[in-house]
Amino acid sequence: MEQRGYDPGCRFAVRAALEEALINAIEHGNGNDPAKTVTVEYVVSRALIVIEIEDHGEGFDPEAVPDSTRRQNMDIPCGRGILLMRAFMSEVDFYAPGNRVRMAFRRG
C-alpha cells in the first residue's frame, strides 16, 4: 500500500480490517485448529484494494450476528470485528455458506 501511495490512515484502516477478518477466520471459522488453513488473496492498485479470506469452517450468517452498537448487545463478545471491518472498508461481502469474505477499499 505504501508503494502505491496510500497514506498512513488508509494503511491503518485496511490493516485493522484485515486483522479482524483473519482473527475471525482462525478463531471462529477454523476453531483454532492448527490443521486447518486460511487462504488470503489480494490485489493492491493505486485506486482499489481487494482482499478475500476463506477458512475451512462451516460458515455463518452475518445477518444473525448481534449488532454490537445496540445497548442490549454491549456485553456480547461477538460482532465487533465485523463492525470494524465494515467501518474501515468500502465494501464487505460474505459468501455462502459464510466462510469467505471479500473486502474492498476504494481510495476516496
State residue 45's pLDDT score: 98
Q: Which long-range contacts (CB under 8 A, 24 or more apart) does 40-45 make?
A: 44/1, 44/4, 45/4
Average pLDDT, stretch 78-96?
Answer: 90
Q: What is the pTM of this model?
A: 0.88
Distance CA 82, CA 84 (A): 5
Query: Residue 68: is its pLDDT beyond 70?
Result: no
Between 40 and 68, the more confident residue is 40
State residue 74's pLDDT score: 61
Distances (CA, A) of 98 to 6, 9, 34: 30, 29, 20
Query: Residue 55: is its pLDDT beyond 90?
Result: yes
Query: Residue 80: is its pLDDT beyond 90?
Result: no
Per-chain mean pLDDT for the chain: 91
CA 16, 17, 22, 24 torsion-angle sign: positive
CATH architecture of structural domain 8-106: 2-Layer Sandwich (3.30)
Q: Which of 67, 63, 64, 102 is nearest to 83 (CA)?
A: 67
